[in-house]
Structure 1
Amino acid sequence: MKFKKSLLALLMGSSVALAACGGGDEGANKPKEDNNNAGKETAAADGEAVYKQSCVSCHGENLEGSVGPALDKIGSKMSEQEIRDVIKKGQGSMPPNVVEGAEADAVAKWLAEKK
């Protein structure tokens, strides 16, 4: 019975982690935008919005944790750079680079403020 529960937990966690990663190329056939990147930069700079789009399924809507650990006080345990490193390299069942670049920086900065 315990083995079945462990297996079920592993499968559920893997499913959620894979779902959080997304498909990746939904914009591949989209025409390139003009040189107006203002909206893109604003979205990338909003750590909370990126979190809600990419991280909430594992870490909870209120940072309370779910499949992944709670992050509501992560800033008191880890620096912004340490958080960025976890986002980049992954940790435990979290895959690396769930978000990248400016978005990862914004999420790390936002989470570092949670104390």
Structure 2
Amino acid sequence: MLRSLSVLVLSLLLIVGLAACGGGSDEGQDGQSAEENGGSNGTVDVAAAEKTFEQNCANCHGQNLEGRNGPKLENIGSKLSKEEILTMIKKGGGGMPGGLIRGEEAENVAAWLATME
């Protein structure tokens, strides 16, 4: 009886442990890799990125990325990588001040903008 119970408990622990490890794929729900999606965990929080952009960037780049005082960003992802966009956000350039957004917000906005092709 004790042996059967031990085998059952170990089996359940093994199943739970394997389930927690996931499928081993680096792809997100849309079939893109974490690098393609831009996020370190394979996802971009689009709602948060849009909100951050609206609060910090839209005055110059336009609500619809169409450009105003700053350049348009409608297809920036076909021109610059996430890393290049992030560098621009951090350091600025071409009249844009650096550091308007920082940390995870900057990473998320850069990843979101990198999807604009």
Deviation digits for residues 44-86 of structure 1, max 9, x if unmatched? x821110011100000000000000000000000000000000
Structure possessing the higher relative contact order (Cα contacts under 8 Å, 6 or more residues apart): 1
Deviation digits for residues 11-67 of structure 1, max 9, x if unmatched? xxxxxxxxxxxxxxxxxxxxxxxxxxxxxxxx8x82111001110000000000000
Cα distance in 2 for residues equivalent to 1:85 and 1:46: 20
Question: Unpaired runs of 5+ in structure 1?
Answer: 1-42
> Which residue identity does 2:70 align to in structure 1?
G
Name 2:70's counterpart in structure 1.
68
CA RMSD of aligned residues (A): 1.4
Percent of residue pairs bearing the same amino acid type: 50
Cα distance in 2 for residues equivalent to 1:109 and 1:49: 14
What TM-score, normalized to structure 1? 0.60
SS in 2 for 1:46: helix
> Which residue identity does 2:62 align to in structure 1?
G
What TM-score, normalized to structure 2? 0.59
Question: Unpaired runs of 5+ in structure 2?
Answer: 1-44
